[in-house]
Amino acid sequence: MGVKHSVSVAGAVVREDGRILAIRRHDNGAWEAPGGVLELDETVEAGLAREIREETGIEAEPDALTGVYKNMKVGVVALFFRCRQVGGAEALSEETTEVRWILPSEVEALMAPTMAVRLLDALSFDGRPRVRTHDGVQLL
């Protein structure tokens, strides 16, 4: 036993015009949805709001859990939510070099397949969260 999973949260913050909030990570230059690892003492919703705010300056609230994704290589379970902006303004952080509202048509070109599928699942959400596994790069 003894093997632990890490739980991360991230959100597709969707504006009224259909654009999606995206960040460019400082550590590796990758484009992603804002998010990160939950702290042990915080709720899922509080962690999601904190991560989005810290990375982008945007205040957001979740509308729906749209997917659960497990990285089989490193044991990270990611909860992905469709969110709406409730305040704040775009701002960079120590973790981000760019914050941008992108078009849905830009997702696949900008992001790795494992991140792109999360955003596309959130955009096509039909009331049933998707459950997927991946190896850190490709879906399994």
Report d(CA 44, CA 20) in Å as an integer. 21
DSSP letter assigned to residue 71:
E
pLDDT digits (tens, 9 = 90+) for 102-126: 999 999 999 999 999 999 999 999 9
pLDDT digits (tens, 9 = 90+) for 8-62: 999 999 999 999 999 999 999 999 999 999 999 999 999 999 999 999 999 999 9
Q: What pTM was estimated for this model as a whole?
A: 0.94
110 forms beta bridges with: none
Q: Please tell me whether residue 39 adopts helix, strand or coil conformation.
A: coil
Give, for 55, the enclosing helix (H) or strand (E).
Answer: helix 44-56
Tokens encoding 70 = 């497990």
pLDDT of residue 1: 54
